[in-house]
């Protein structure tokens, strides 16, 4: 039983909760709850949404009522249904984009950091050049090149995901490269070289596990950035067709003219969905990042010791 408890306590989020205290714990729990709500909404969208994302009604721009709880849009779409289905679209884009980014960025970072030389210099220059471009502008260029700006569900998801992937690869590349350069000088890597291990084996078995420990932190932060990039593409008209999938940025774009006429419900709920989802992922990522900083952990331990001493003095 003790072994099971210790293994459970070593799980990423459980260990973070055990380390956290005060405001940090509040931020972590809040971000975790909001992220879980987003994931559950995306997973159960077909059952939660009262209508399909492309189902149209004769009542256009109808205010919230018992039939349409969040009203309808100018195109006759149910706002509640499209907001719920939009969570599923955002989740799919996040998964495809971040998985592709991690896969390519980790491989390039390992190879560049371990082998060095002219290959490292070329990859660093290319990564810095991509990183220097504005995120949304680069995603727009890639979206136009891949799908001419508009597409159906899966081609739209993949084009948006690949657009975001190009932006994220340099981030993973730089982190993994820096860790690989540091680990390359460690004694266990030098021992593997002495016994005749190949470069591929050293990178795969010895460096990879130690260099990728910070990836969950980068993942949560990049997930929120992916949602903003996807919403930006949809808002500017480079997103997915409304008949193929629901997308929050597209709905916000078509709600601009409604806002001037006092029709608030078509833009309020998709905007809140973006804000709350990004806020939850950001709180989760920032809290995990702070709790993985040894300096903050040390400060927390000293604060605990000081509190105990104060309690002992009060009791005395």
Which domains does the chain show, CATH number per domain?
2-315 (1.10.3720.10)
Per the CB < 8 A criterion, the answer to whether 156 and 139 are in contact is: no
How many residues are recorded in the chain?
316
pLDDT at 2: 43
pLDDT at 274: 93
Per the CB < 8 A criterion, the answer to whether 212 and 175 are in contact is: no
Query: pTM, whole model, 2 decimals?
Result: 0.78
Which pair of structure tokens corresponds to residue 55? 């189902």
The torsion defined by the Cα of 71, 278, 213 and 207, in degrees rounded to 10, comes to 90
Residues 6+ apart with CB under 8 A from 288: 12, 16, 28, 216, 217, 220
The pLDDT tens digits along the chain (316 residues) read 444 455 445 555 555 555 555 667 777 788 889 999 999 999 999 999 998 888 888 888 888 888 888 988 888 889 999 999 999 988 988 888 888 888 888 888 888 888 888 888 888 888 888 877 777 777 777 777 776 655 566 767 777 788 778 878 888 888 888 888 888 877 777 777 777 777 777 777 777 777 777 677 777 777 888 888 888 888 887 777 777 788 898 888 888 888 778 888 888 999 999 999 999 988 887 777 666 555 555 444 455 555 555 555 555 5
């Amino acid at each position: 039983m003790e072994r099971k408890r210790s293994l459970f306590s070593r799980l990423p989020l459980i260990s973070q909760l055990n380390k956290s205290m005060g405001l940090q714990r509040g931020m972590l729990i809040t971000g975790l709850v909001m992220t879980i709500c987003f994931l559950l909404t995306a997973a159960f969208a077909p059952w939660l949404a009262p209508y399909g994302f492309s189902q149209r009604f004769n009542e256009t721009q109808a205010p919230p009522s018992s039939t349409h709880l969040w009203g309808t849009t100018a195109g006759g779409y149910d706002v509640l249904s499209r907001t719920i289905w939009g969570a599923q679209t955002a989740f799919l884009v996040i998964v495809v984009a971040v998985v592709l980014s991690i896969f390519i960025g980790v491989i390039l970072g390992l190879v560049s950091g371990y082998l060095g030389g002219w290959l490292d210099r070329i990859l660093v220059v290319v990564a810095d050049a991509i990183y220097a471009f504005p995120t949304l502008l680069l995603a727009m260029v890639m979206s136009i090149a891949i799908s001419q700006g508009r597409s159906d569900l899966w081609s739209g998801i993949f084009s948006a995901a690949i657009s975001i992937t190009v932006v994220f690869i340099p981030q993973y590349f730089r982190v993994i490269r820096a860790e690989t350069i540091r680990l390359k000088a460690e004694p266990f890597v030098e021992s593997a070289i002495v016994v005749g291990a190949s470069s591929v084996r050293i990178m795969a078995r010895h460096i990879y596990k130690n260099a990728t420990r910070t990836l969950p932190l980068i993942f949560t932060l990049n997930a929120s950035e992916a949602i903003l990039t996807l919403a930006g593409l949809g808002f500017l008209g480079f997103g997915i067709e409304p008949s193929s999938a629901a997308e929050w940025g597209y709905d916000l774009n078509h709600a601009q003219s409604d806002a001037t006429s006092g029709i608030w419900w078509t833009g309020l709920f998709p905007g809140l969905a973006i804000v709350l989802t990004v806020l939850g992922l950001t709180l989760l990522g920032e809290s995990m990042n702070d709790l993985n900083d040894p300096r903050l952990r040390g400060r927390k331990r000293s604060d605990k010791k000081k509190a105990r001493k104060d309690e002992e003095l009060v009791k005395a």
